[in-house]
């Protein structure tokens, strides 16, 4: 990818500048930390899951624009979704950024998140975009600390929706 405007679209730059759902949920019943030690991306995700629905979600931390925007847009996208729906989006987002799901030709629930499709051409940046999703998966399945370092496809196995 040589046109950087394709990746660094205005939506991404905007979410980087003004991340939505920034902070921590005080009485969270789910939380997880995601860390890419090599590039220094580090996010803390907290949520309240009530009646199987993500009732509240927030994140904080530091990282590159791709990681921050991805976290911000993810929190907006999964708020109000059921655990099952959120896990399906984890799967779809991972598919899109690792090149196994073409969001233009296959049905999906990614909507605005499709702005991240371009990272699949930048193997060294895929992990930045996926980190919040990996962290979300960890929070939903109660693994407290995760890392996507060094892995193009950081979520081992693919039976994510089943857990």
Partner 1 sequence: MSIAGKNIDSIRADFPILNLQVSGKPLVYLDNAASSQMPQQVIDRIVRYQKAEHSNIHRAVHYLSELATREFEEARVKVQHFLKAKESREIIFTRGTTEAINLVMHGYGRSFIGKGDEIILSGLEHHANIVPWQMLAEEKGAVIRVIPMNDQGELLIAEFEALFNEKTKFLALTHVSNALGTINPVKEMVAFAHSKGVPVLLDGAQAAPHQAIDVQDLDCDFYAFSGHKMCGPTGIGVLYGKAQLLEKMQPFMGGGDMILSVTFEKTSYNVIPAKFEAGTPPIMAAIALGTAIDYLNGIGLDNIAACEHELLAYATKRVSAIPGVRIIGTAAKKAAVLSFEIDGVHPHDVGTILNADGIAIRTGHHCAQPVMQRFHVPATARASFAFYNTEEEIDKLVEGIRKVQEMFS
Span interacting with partner 1, options 48-56, 58-66, 94-102, 144-152, rule CB under 8 A: 58-66
Span interacting with partner 1, options 56-64, 107-115, 129-137, 142-150, rule CB under 8 A: 56-64
Q: What is the contact mask toward partner 1 in residues 64 to 103, using x (rule: CB under 8 A)?
A: xxx-------------------------------------
Residue closest to 99 by CA, chosen among 77, 127, 121, 128: 121
Residue 15 CB: number of other CB atoms within 10 A? 23
Q: Is 26 in the site for partner 1 (CB under 8 A)?
A: no
Residue 49 CB: number of other CB atoms within 10 A? 18
Q: For residues 60 and 42, give the distance between their C-alpha atoms in angstroms, rounded to a whole number.
A: 8
Min dist CB 114 to partner 1, Å, is 19
Q: Is 11 in the site for partner 1 (CB under 8 A)?
A: no
Q: Is 115 in the site for partner 1 (CB under 8 A)?
A: no
Q: Of 22 and 55, which has the nearer Cβ to partner 1?
A: 22
Q: Which of residues 30-49 bind partner 1 (CB under 8 A)?
A: 38-40, 42
| Backbone dihedral angles phi then psi of residue 26, each to the nearest 5 degrees | -60, -45
Element (H, E) at 155: none
Cβ(129)–Cβ(119) below 8 Å: yes
Residue 150 CB: number of other CB atoms within 10 A? 10
Residue closest to 71 by CA, chosen among 25, 131, 10: 131
Q: Is 4 in the site for partner 1 (CB under 8 A)?
A: yes
Q: Is 159 in the site for partner 1 (CB under 8 A)?
A: no
Q: Is 152 in the site for partner 1 (CB under 8 A)?
A: no
Which residues form the interface with partner 1 (CB under 8 A)? 1-5, 7-8, 13, 16, 38-40, 42, 62-66, 122, 124-125, 128
């Amino acid at each position: 990818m040589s046109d950087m405007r394709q990746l660094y679209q205005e939506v991404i730059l905007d979410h980087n500048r003004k991340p939505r759902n920034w902070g921590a949920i005080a009485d969270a019943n789910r939380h997880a930390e995601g860390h890419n030690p090599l590039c220094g991306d580090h996010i803390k995700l907290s949520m309240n899951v009530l009646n199987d629905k993500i009732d509240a979600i927030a994140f904080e931390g530091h990282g590159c624009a791709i990681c921050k925007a991805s976290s911000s847009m993810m929190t907006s996208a999964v708020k109000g979704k059921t655990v099952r729906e959120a896990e399906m989006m984890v799967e779809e987002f991972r598919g899109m950024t690792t090149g196994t799901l073409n969001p233009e030709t296959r049905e999906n629930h990614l909507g605005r998140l499709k702005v991240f499709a371009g990272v699949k051409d930048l193997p060294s940046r895929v992990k930045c975009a996926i980190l919040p999703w990996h962290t979300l998966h960890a929070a939903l399945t109660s693994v407290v600390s995760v890392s996507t370092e060094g892995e193009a496809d950081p979520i081992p196995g693919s039976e994510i929706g089943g857990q």
